[in-house]
Amino acid sequence: MIAFPNCKINLGLHVLNKRVDGFHDLETVFLPLALKDVLEIITADKLTFTMTGINIPGSADDNLCLSAYRLLKRDFPLLPPVHIHLHKVIPTGAGLGGGSSDAAFTLKLLNEKYHLGIRQETLLQYAAQLGSDCAFFIENTPCYATGRGEILEPLAVDLSAYQFLLVHPGIHVNTGWAFGQLSPGKPGHSLREVNFKDVQDYKGKVSNDFEAAVFQAHPEIAAIKEQMYATGALYASMSGSGSAVYGIYEKGKKITGLFSETGYSVFRIS
């Protein structure tokens, strides 16, 4: 059985406070985008994992797809061993949630393939154990998110009338470092006050708390955002703690030559 885990971007991201458990309370809006990995699961004699595409640093045994399988295996001991193959397209360490998406889709695929009968609410609980934004990919629709990112409220946002330019400069921004640069606090206004149906309402109202520190450390990431605005983006922002930057453009607008000579990974998503 095959699935296609997609990425996400953050429409705004506020870090409100540090919690006693070491995590942070956040406020953000998650938006799924159609940049996708490929995930295949088949029944096997023993649990195995292989991967192609973009290399993921670290041991394959620590991959979140395997963590998702092992999480379900504890509660469903009759779950058979499987072979998991992941073809990686979504850049890693980019603020796009690719690893979280792969884990969440593994949960959904195992549930469907082996008829485990796990309800959506329970899948969300499993996903939250794997990572702060894993639960979003169970819903996989625009959501206003709070808590660690696992408390989700569906948001009626349809941006199909726009096109997205997604640029990853190949820089890995360490999430722990990024959080360490912040002084959490209440934002000037909540993202609840933004009309997310109107992209024209974003600029000046929708912000990412990580940008200031990341842009100072990596001016080339700030330059990507500036170039997007210079070429007609209605709104541009870094996603998550970086380093990918996205721009939202009017559909049909030609965006030619931008970043073509930089060696950056560039994705155009309609």
Say whether 239 counts as a known binding-site residue.
no
Count Cβ neighbours within 10 Å for each residue of 106-132 and write b for 16 or more, e otherwise: bbbbbbebbebebeeeebbebbbebbb
Say whether 190 counts as a known binding-site residue.
no
φ/ψ of 267, rounded to 5, equals -125, 130
Say whether 240 counts as a known binding-site residue.
no
Query: Residue 202: CB partners within 8 Å, gap ≥ 6?
Result: 11, 194, 196, 234, 235, 248
Say whether 106 counts as a known binding-site residue.
no
Say whether 96 counts as a known binding-site residue.
yes
What is the per-residue DSSP string for 30-72?
A: EEEEEEE-EEEEEE-SS-EEEEEES--SS-GGG-HHHHHHHHH
Say whether 242 counts as a known binding-site residue.
no
246 close to 32: Cβ distance less than 8 angstroms: no
Say whether 86 counts as a known binding-site residue.
no
Residues recognised as catalytic: 8, 133
Annotated binding site: 91-101
Annotated binding site for ATP: 91-101
